[in-house]
């Protein structure tokens, strides 16, 4: 009897022990499963929160970077196609200036550039667009209002208004050689002119969209404004020179660049001519917007700084009056910009040109110079034969360019250039 009781007690104890072990294993399994689910849930919510935050951040950035739509008053004129994106930032270069001696032509500029190839590629993009003249002028007048975060080296924009070929291009190639990053070139030729220059020339691929130009008409001014507007799209262009196919440089690039960039004024020939070729061309129908006392005359071959260039392309008040009332014998290219500058921006101008021409022979056109005229004495007489003011100081360095030089003057100019103009042979 006692043995049966002990056996029964032992079986119950063993059964209880097994039940305890089973419960322990079951609880342990539940704990492991719960822990795993908790870890997975934590990882999931962390990943979801990160993705949500990134999406929100991207949405905010997109909102900030999205340009505001201009108000109706500042909307551009109607156009068929949208304008291209703003030009890429210009390359960063290192530049140190020296000052000009008011009585000397010796000027030094030191710079370094390792991006000469990329500069030409970036500039090339600025010439390719399908904007109308109205849209181009509007875009150029707005460009200076966009603050650029880049500290750009100032460049000089050389704008060539030509009939077609550039017979003196080899001389200009020598002039620009080795100074990439400090200049830009723009060529306005007849739209049907299709002669191409070698890829080694600085003029290769530098033509802008153009229209036909007729002497003595407003098409001449339209071309000048077209050149200025294209050049203004490049934020680093700070000085703008208008030249023709018959112009030559009178000094090397370093002297020319330093003279322009360090000047505190523009160089526009502006004067009051009381004779028939001056005030005699004024049309009384321009009054009262333009008075005869405002009327001025000057050479069309100008050099201006960026602020004045913006004023010229953005003018909508005075230019229509010249288009309507200034016809031969009133020549718009001799009167519009001089009169505009005299009315509004006289303090920004030196009232003289830096492009030499010879009017001593009389007639409607200046003198022309060919092979027999190219001598050291002749060129030095142009370079140092005058007196003028530069930044308030008197100097004999008054002209940086000369015209009109014939195609047959190229060979003797190249021959004297290394010694006289400081070009490499």
Instruction: Name the β-bridge partners of 327.
Output: none
Name the percent of the chain lying above pLDDT 70: 70
Alpha helices in 233-360 (DSSP H): 253-261, 306-314, 319-325, 332-344
Mean residue pLDDT of the chain comes to 79
pLDDT in tens, 294-320: 999 999 999 999 999 999 999 999 999
Do 371 and 409 contact (CB within 8 A), yes or no?
yes
Q: How far apart are CA 19 and CA 66, in angstroms?
A: 70
Report DSSP letters for 383-398, one per residue: HHS--EEETTEEES--
Question: Is residue 16 reached through a cis peptide bond, with omega within 30 degrees of 0 on the bond before it?
Answer: no
Average pLDDT over residues 36-57: 53
pLDDT in tens, 318-361: 999 999 999 999 999 999 999 999 999 898 899 999 999 998 88
Lowest mean pLDDT among 117-121, 148-152, 260-264: 117-121
Q: Which of residues 280 and 124 earns the better pLDDT score?
A: 280
Burial class (CB in 10 A: 0-12, 13-18, 19+), 138: buried
pTM of the model: 0.71
* pLDDT at site 252: 95
Q: Which of residues 35 and 57 earns the better pLDDT score?
A: 35
* pLDDT at site 425: 55
User: How far apart, in Å, do the first and last CA atoms of the chain sit?
Assistant: 133
Q: How far apart are CA 261 and CA 156, in angstroms?
A: 8
Local confidence band at 64 (pLDDT 50, 70, 90 cut-offs): very low
Q: Which of residues 9 and 109 earns the better pLDDT score?
A: 9
pLDDT in tens, 135-173: 877 787 777 655 455 678 999 999 999 998 999 999 999
Which two structure tokens, joined as six digits, stand for 102? 């008011």
* pLDDT at site 34: 72
Local confidence band at 408 (pLDDT 50, 70, 90 cut-offs): very high
* pLDDT at site 57: 41
Do 333 and 290 contact (CB within 8 A), yes or no?
no
Residue 114 has pLDDT above 50, yes or no: no
* pLDDT at site 374: 95
Do 87 and 234 contact (CB within 8 A), yes or no?
yes
Q: How far apart are CA 320 and CA 409, in angstroms?
A: 40
* pLDDT at site 87: 39
Helix axes 133-142, 306-314, angle to 10 degrees: 140
Local confidence band at 196 (pLDDT 50, 70, 90 cut-offs): confident
157 three-state secondary structure: strand
Name the percent of the chain lying above pLDDT 90: 56
């Amino acid at each position: 009897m006692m043995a049966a009781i002990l056996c029964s007690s032992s079986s119950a104890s063993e059964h209880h022990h097994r039940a305890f072990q089973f419960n322990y294993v079951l609880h342990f399994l539940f704990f492991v499963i719960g822990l795993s689910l908790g870890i997975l849930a934590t990882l999931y919510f962390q990943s979801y929160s990160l993705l949500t935050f990134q999406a929100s951040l991207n949405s905010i950035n997109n909102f900030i970077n999205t340009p505001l739509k201009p108000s109706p008053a500042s909307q551009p004129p109607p156009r068929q196609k949208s304008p291209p994106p703003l030009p890429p930032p210009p390359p960063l270069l290192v530049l140190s200036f020296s000052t000009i001696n008011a009585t000397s032509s010796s000027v030094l500029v030191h710079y370094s550039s390792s991006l000469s190839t990329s500069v030409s590629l970036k500039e090339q993009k600025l010439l390719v667009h399908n904007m109308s003249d109205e849209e181009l002028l509007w875009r150029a007048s707005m460009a200076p209002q966009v603050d650029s975060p880049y500290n750009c080296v100032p460049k000089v924009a050389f704008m060539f208004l030509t009939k077609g070929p550039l017979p003196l291009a080899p001389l200009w190639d020598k002039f620009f050689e080795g100074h990439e990053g400090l200049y830009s070139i723009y060529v306005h030729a007849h739209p049907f002119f299709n002669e191409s220059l070698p890829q080694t020339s600085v003029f290769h691929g530098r033509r802008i969209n153009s229209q036909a130009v007729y002497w003595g008409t407003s098409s001449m001014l339209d071309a000048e404004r077209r050149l200025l507007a294209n050049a203004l799209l490049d934020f680093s262009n700070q000085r703008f020179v208008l030249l023709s196919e018959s112009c030559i440089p009178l000094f090397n690039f370093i002297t020319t660049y330093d003279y322009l960039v360090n000047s505190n004024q523009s160089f526009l020939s502006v004067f009051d001519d009381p004779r028939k070729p001056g005030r005699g061309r004024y049309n009384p129908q321009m009054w009262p917007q333009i008075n005869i006392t405002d009327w001025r005359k000057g050479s069309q071959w100008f050099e201006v700084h960026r602020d004045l260039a913006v004023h010229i392309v953005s003018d909508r008040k005075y230019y229509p009056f010249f288009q309507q009332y200034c016809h031969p014998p009133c020549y718009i290219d001799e009167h519009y910009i001089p009169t505009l500058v005299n009315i509004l921006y006289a303090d920004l101008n030196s009232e003289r040109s830096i492009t030499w021409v010879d009017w001593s022979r009389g007639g409607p056109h200046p003198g022309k110079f060919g092979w027999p005229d190219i001598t050291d004495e002749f060129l030095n007489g142009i370079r140092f034969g005058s007196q003028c003011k530069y930044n308030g100081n008197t100097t004999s360095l008054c002209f940086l360019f000369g015209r009109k030089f014939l195609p047959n003057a190229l060979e003797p100019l190249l021959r004297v250039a290394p010694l006289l103009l400081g070009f490499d042979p």
